[in-house]
Chains A and B, each alone.
Chain A
Amino acid sequence: MPELINNGDIQTDHWVYLEKSDEPEKQTVPDGKVLIPLSTWLAQSDRLTGRIGADFGIWFDSDEEPETLGEAVRQFAVVGVNFPKFADGRGYSIARLLRERYGFTGDLRAIGDVLLDQLFYMKRCGFSSFALRPDRSAETALTGLATFQEVYQSATDQPAPLFRRRA
Chain B
Amino acid sequence: MYKYDSYDHQIIKDRVNQFKDQTRRYFAGELSEEEFLPLRLQNGLYVQRLAPMLRIAIPYGMLNAAQLRRLARISRDYDKGYAHFTTRQNLQLNWPSIKDAPQILAELAEVEMHAVQTSGNCIRNVTSDQFAGVTPEEMVDPRPYCEIVRQWSTFHPEFAFLPRKFKIAVNACPDSDRAAIHVHDIGLQIVKNADGDLGFKVLVGGGLGRTPMIGAVIREFLPEQDLLTYLEAILRVYNRYGRRDNKYKARIKILVKALSAEGFAEKVEAEWEHLKDTPNRLTQKEIDRVKQHFVPPDYEDITDSSMLQNQLAENTYFSNWYSRNVAPHKRQGYSIVTLTLKKLGVPPGDASARQLDQLADLTEEFSFGEARVTHEQNIVLADVPQDKLFELWQRIKPMGFATPVLGTLNDIICCPGGDYCSLANAKSIPVAEAIQAKFDDLDYVYDIGELDLNISGCMNACGHHHVGNIGVLGVDKKGEEWYQVSLGGDSGQKASIGKILGPSFARNEMPEVIEKLLTVYVEQRHEDELFLDTYRRIGLKPFKERVYAGTH
List the interface of chain A (C-beta within 8 A of B).
86-90, 92-94, 96, 101, 115, 117, 120-122, 124-125, 140, 143, 147-155, 159-164, 166
Q: Given the complex, which residues of B lie within 8 Å of A153, measured CB to CB?
A: 152, 155-157, 280
**Are B158 and A155 touching (Cβ within 8 A)?**
yes
The chain B residue sitting closest to A120, CB to CB, is: B157
Not counting A155-B158, A161-B152, a sample of 17 additional A-B residue pairs whose C-beta atoms are within 8 angstroms of each other reads A87-B121, A88-B161, A92-B160, A120-B157, A122-B157, A124-B157, A125-B158, A140-B30, A148-B14, A151-B157, A152-B11, A153-B156, A162-B151, A164-B279, A166-B5, A166-B7, A166-B289
Closest CB of chain B to A120's CB: distance in Å?
7
Other-chain contact of A147, B14, B156, B159 (Cβ < 8 Å)? B14
Chain A residue contacts of B152, Cβ below 8 A: 152-153, 161
Contact assessment for A117 and B158 in the assembled complex, using a CB-CB cutoff below 8 Å: no
Q: Among B5, B11, B14, B280, which residue has its beta carbon within 8 angstroms of that of A161?
A: B280
B47 an interface residue at 8 Å Cβ cutoff?
no
The stretch of B199-207, B236-244, B338-346, B386-394 that contacts the partner chain: B236-244
> In whole angstroms, what is the CA distance A122 to B158 when docked?
8
11 sample A-B contacts, Cβ–Cβ < 8 Å, listed by A number: A89-B121, A89-B160, A93-B158, A121-B157, A122-B157, A124-B157, A124-B158, A152-B152, A153-B157, A161-B279, A161-B280
Which of under 10, 10 to 19, 20 to 34, or 35 or more describes the interface residues of B? 35 or more
| 5 closest cross-chain pairs (CB), A and B | A89-B161, A124-B157, A121-B157, A163-B286, A92-B158
B7: contacting residue among A121, A147, A160, A162, CB under 8 A = A162
The answer for the CA separation of A28 and B163 in the assembled complex, in Å, is 35
By a CB distance below 8 angstroms, the chain A residues around B35 are: 86, 115, 117
Task: Decide if B157 touches A125 in the complex (CB within 8 Å).
Answer: yes
Complex contacts, B236 vs chain A, CB 8 Å: 93
B157 touches A93 (CB 8 A): no
When C-beta atoms are compared, the residue in chain B nearest to A137 turns out to be B30
Instruction: Compute how far the CA of A22 lies from the CA of B30 in the bound complex, rounded to whole angstroms.
Output: 36
Residue of A nearest to B121 (CB): A87
Check: B39 CB closer than 8 A to any chain A CB: yes
In the complex, which residues of chain B have a beta carbon less than 8 angstroms from the beta carbon of A86?
Answer: 35, 38, 161
Q: State A13–B15 Cα separation when bound (angstroms).
A: 30
Looking across the interface, which residue of chain B has its beta carbon closest to that of A140? Answer: B30
Which of B158, B279, B286 has the most chain A CB atoms closer than 10 A to its own CB?
B158
B282 within 8 A of A: yes
B283-A150 in contact (CB<8A): no
Considering the complex, give the chain A residue whose CB is closest to the CB of B36.
Answer: A117
Min CB–CB distance A127 → chain B (angstroms) = 10
Contact A92 B155 (CB under 8 A): no
Q: A93-B239, A163-B282, A164-B283 are in contact. Are A148 and B11 (CB under 8 A)?
A: yes
Known interface pairs A152-B11, A152-B155. Does A147 touch B38 (Cβ–Cβ under 8 Å)?
no
